[in-house]
Amino acid sequence: MRGVARQSGFRGRRDQAPQLRRLPVRVAALAVCACALLTGCSSVSHVIADSWPRALGGLPEGVPPRSQNPPAYMSVNDPPPTRDTKKLTPEERAKFEAEMAASRSQNTSQAEETKSQSSTRLPPIH
């Protein structure tokens, strides 16, 4: 009798094990199905977001209305339009590089001046 009781209790747990192993698979399948169904809502989400109050996830007050005609996609395969500007001459390039170097040295000197005026130690954080 004692052996029979053990076997029946063990068998009951053993019969439940396959169901418990299938549970994560079922949950994952349900999640994938829910995501697939929700992606269909993306085409009308702007309608919901525009008309719902902010507390429910809508747009805040004072937002301008959406344009009725969405902008066209950029052409990916077409070459870019030709530029209407000409290349810099060597003189213009030298002048531009000199201006950049002067600006860079001015920024460096201002940074050094600010660094020397500030204390070397940061204040403690409380």
Give me the residue label for tokens 């719902």.
Answer: 52
CB-based contact 54:60 (threshold 8 Å): yes
Question: pLDDT tens-digit profile of 36-76?
Answer: 877 776 666 667 667 777 777 777 788 888 788 877 887 78
11, 15, 28, 92, 113 from 20: Cα distances, Å: 15, 10, 14, 76, 70
Instruction: Compute φ and ψ for 56, nearest 5 degrees.
Output: -100, 10
| Residue 95 reports pLDDT greater than 70 | yes
| CA atoms of 48 and 41, how far apart (whole Å) | 10
Question: pLDDT tens-digit profile of 79-90?
Answer: 888 888 888 899
The amino acid present at 119, given as its one-letter code, is: S
| CA atoms of 32 and 36, how far apart (whole Å) | 6
Greater pLDDT, 26 or 122: 26
35, 44, 55, 117, 121 from 49: Cα distances, Å: 19, 9, 11, 52, 50
With a pLDDT cut of 70, the percent of the chain lying above it is 71
Pick from 40, 42, 60: nearest CA to 50: 60
